[in-house]
């Protein structure tokens, strides 16, 4: 790890984790052909994952409360 850029190294690890979660969401949706996915993650990941999914035309991000009311 490059100590000169320790902040950058840390953020890149965090972002890489978000990309792995995003990739897993895409893979699971494709595998199961799910029309809806409920993804429960730590608050620190929510913002980045929402942005990644929002920029994917195949997904519509909604709040969990709305998702759960649809599922009734």
- Render pLDDT for 25-71 as a digit per residue (tens, 0 to 9): 999 999 988 888 888 898 999 999 999 999 999 999 988 888 888 75
Higher pLDDT, 17 or 38: 17
Domain residues for the domain of 29 are 3-70
Domain total of the chain:
1
**Taking 60 as the threshold, does the pLDDT of residue 72 lie above it?**
no
Round to whole Å and give the CA distance between 48 and 24.
14
Residues sharing a CB contact under 8 Å with residue 8, sequence separation 6 or more, in sequence order = 2
């Amino acid at each position: 790890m490059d100590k000169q850029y320790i902040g950058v190294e840390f953020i890149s690890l965090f972002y890489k984790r978000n990309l792995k979660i995003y990739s897993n969401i895409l893979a699971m949706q494709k595998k199961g052909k799910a029309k809806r996915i409920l993804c429960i993650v730590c608050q620190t990941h929510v913002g980045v994952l929402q942005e990644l999914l929002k920029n994917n035309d195949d997904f519509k991000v909604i709040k969990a409360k709305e998702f759960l009311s649809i599922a009734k």
